[in-house]
Chain A
Amino acid sequence: MEDILFIRPEIALDMFLPIFIVSTLVLIFGVGYASIITLSKMGYFSKKWMVLGYLFWALQTYSLYSLSIMIQSEPFTTKVLMITMIAYLFIPHLYFRLIEDSDKRYEDNNIKEKKN
C-alpha cells in the first residue's frame, strides 16, 4: 500500500534550539523583570533601575511573541499570550500595593524601623 505523505504543521529540526533558547529567554527576562522591580521597590537599588526592569519586560514580551510564532500557535492564542503579558506588567505592582497596604493596616500600631 502506497502511503500518501501529508504536509502537517510540525516543528522543523533546526527550530528546536531557537525554541528552547527563546523560552529560556522568556523566563530569564521574566525573573529579571520581577526581581529588579522587587529589589528597587525594597530600596536595594535606586528607582532608576526600574527602567531596566521595564526593558526586561519588553524583551520578555517580544520573546514570548516569537515563541508563539515558532511553535505555530493560532493567532488567537498569540493574542491571549500578549494580553497575559500586559497583565504581567501590573502583577508585581499589585503585589507591592498589597504588601504596603497590609503593612500599613496591620503594622502601624507597633512602629518599626522600616520607614526612615
Chain B
Amino acid sequence: MLTSIKTNSLTNEGQKLGMMYFRVAIVLFGAQLLMGLIAAIQFIVPGFLFEVFDFSVARMVHINALVVWMLYAMIGSVYLMLTDETEHNIVAIGLGKLAFWVLTAAVAIVVLVYIFIQVGSGSESTIWFINEGREYLEAPRWADIGIVVVVLIFYWNVFATYMKGKKTGIMTVMVANLMALAGLYLAGMFFTDNISMDQYWWWWVIHLWVEATWEVFVGTLAAYALIKIIDAKREIVEMWLWIEVLMLFGSGILGLGHHYFWIGTPEYWWEIGALFSALEPVPLIAMFVHVLYDWGKEQGINGTKPAIKNGPAMAWLVTNAFGNFLGAGIWGFFHTLPQVNIYTHGSQFTAAHGHLAFFGAYATILIGMMYYGIQRSYGVERMKATFKSKMAIFLITFGVLGMAVALTIAGYEQVLVERAELGATWNAFFTAQNLPWYIQAQIWRTIMGVVTFVGFIYLVWDLVTIGKEAQKEEA
C-alpha cells in the first residue's frame, strides 16, 4: 500500500532516500498508536492481555516506536532538504541507502524481541540482547552500537555534503545541531549500579534531546518549510532561526535542572531548574508569533492571492507553532516549579504533558514534512488540502488534546489524593487509581485515543492519494 507513495518525479537520490525514511516512519507511527491503545485499555480493564502482553511491554513499544518514528522522519526530512540547501548531490548516497536498510532491519529485530521475548534474566546479556530497561532508551546495547554506526554514516553524508556545497544559515544550524543530537546519545550508553547517577545521565539524553536539540531541529525545519511553502524571505527566516537557537539553547540547556529536583541531586538544581525552565516557553512564543506573522503576511491579509503552495503542510506547520507552545510551553510550565512539582512529579500530569508536547512540538511538523515530500515526489506546483487532510488534522489534534485534558484531570486527582492527602505509599497509589474521577478520565483518554487513531487512518489514506489527486487537478 505504502509503495503507492511514489517517488516518480524525484530525480535526486537523496530525496528518494528521504521518502524511504518517511514510509517506515508512518508505519511506526501506526504501531505507536496501536500500542498506546492497548496500554490505555489495560488501565481500564486490568486483565486485558495480562501475562501475555503486559502493560510494560505495550508501553515500552509505545514509547520506542514514538522515538524511532520521529528519528526516521527527522532523518527523512534532512535528506529531503539537503540537496536543496547545499545545491550539491549527497556524497555517499549508496552508503546512505545501505545504512537505511541496516537500521530498518535492526529496528525490526529489536521490536520482535521486545514483543516476543519481553524480559530476560538479571544479567549483562539481557542488557546486551533483549532490552536495557531504561525508559525511552530500552534498545539493547548491540542496537545502541548499531544506531551509532548508522547515525555516523548519516551524519557523514550531511556533513560532507555541507562542506562541499553552499553553506546556508539553515544548514549551518542543522549540521551543528545534529552533531550535538547524535553525540548526546552516547551519554545513555553505560550501566551503573547507582540509580541517581543513572538517571542523571539518562536525562542528558532525554532532556537535551526533546527540550534542546530537537526543538532547534524543529526551528530549522520550520525555517526551511517557510521558505519553500510560502516563499518567506530567507534572510528574515535565518535571522529568526539564530534568535530561536539563542533562546532555545539559552533556556533549554540549563532547564535540564528541572529533572534534577528529586533524583538524589543537590538542592541548587531547584533554583537553576525553576529559573531556566520557566524561560523555556519564551522561544516558543517567538516561534509562534513569527510563524503566525509570516503566514498572515503571505496569506495576503488585505485580500490578495493565496500564496501557500502546500495547504496540508502549512496547516500542520501552524498546528506545530501552536501545539509546541501549548504542549511544551503551557503544560510544561504547569508543573515545572519545584513547589508544585514535588506533588506532580511522576503522576499522570507528566503523561498529559508528554502526550501533548511530543505531538505538538514534533509529530505535527514531521507530518508536515511528509506532505511536503509528497508534493515534491509528484512534482506538483500547488497542493491543496483535501477532505481527508482536513479530517486527519482535525481528528488527530482533537484526539491528542482530548487525551491530554483527560490525563490532566486524572493527574489532578492523583496529586490531590495520592500525593497530598495520603503520602504516595502503595495504598495511597491504589486508592487514587480506583476513584471514579480517575477511572472516568482513563475511559475518556481511551476514547480520545480511538479518535486519534481514526485520524491516523485518514492521514495515511490522504498521504497515499493526495499526490495523485493534485497531479490530476494540475494536468
Contact = CB atoms under 8 A, between A and B. Distances in A.
A110 B300 CA distance: 16
A34 B236 contact: no
A27 interface: yes
B416 A16 contact: yes
Interface in A74-116: 84, 91-92, 95-96, 98-99, 102-103, 105-107, 113-114, 116
A38 B330 CA distance: 18
B290 A99 contact: yes
B46 interface: no
A50 interface: no
Contact of B236 (A43, A73, A91, A102): A102
B239 interface: yes
Given A107-B236, A113-B304, A13 B285 contact: no
A45 to B, nearest CB: 11
A38 B343 contact: no
Contacts of B436: none
B282 A91 contact: yes
Contact of B285 (A72, A91, A107): A91
A16 B233 contact: no
Contacts of B282: 91
A91 B289 CA distance: 11
Contacts of B339: 11, 71-73
Contacts of A11: 339, 343, 420
Interface in B222-244: 233, 235-236, 239-240, 243
A27 B284 CA distance: 13
Interface residues of B, number: 35
A6 interface: no
B289 A95 contact: yes
B405 to A, nearest CB: 11
Contact of B235 (A38, A44, A91, A102): A102
Interface-centre pick from A20, A38, A96, A102 (highest chain B CB count, 10 A): A20
B287 to A, nearest CB: 10
Given A44-B301, A95-B289, A102 B239 contact: yes
Contact of B292 (A38, A84, A106, A114): A38
A19 interface: yes
B334 A38 contact: no
Contact of A16 (B236, B330, B415): B415
B334 A34 contact: no
Interface in B397-437: 412, 415-416, 420-421
Contacts of B325: 31
B94 interface: no
A42 interface: yes
A34 B289 contact: yes
Contacts of B421: 13
A23 interface: yes
Interface of A: 11, 13, 16, 19-20, 23-24, 27, 31, 34, 38, 42-44, 71-73, 84, 91-92, 95-96, 98-99, 102-103, 105-107, 113-114, 116
Interface of B: 233, 235-236, 239-240, 243, 278, 282, 285-286, 288-290, 292-293, 296-297, 300-302, 304, 325, 329-330, 333-334, 337, 339-340, 343, 412, 415-416, 420-421
Nearest first, the 3 A-B pairs at minimum CB distance are A106-B235, A71-B339, A27-B330
17 contacts: A13-B416, A16-B420, A19-B340, A20-B412, A24-B334, A27-B329, A27-B330, A34-B288, A38-B289, A42-B296, A42-B301, A91-B285, A96-B289, A102-B236, A102-B239, A106-B236, A106-B239
Given A23-B340, A27-B330, A107-B236, 14 more contacts: A16-B415, A16-B420, A31-B330, A38-B292, A42-B297, A42-B301, A43-B302, A44-B296, A71-B340, A95-B289, A95-B290, A99-B236, A106-B236, A114-B302
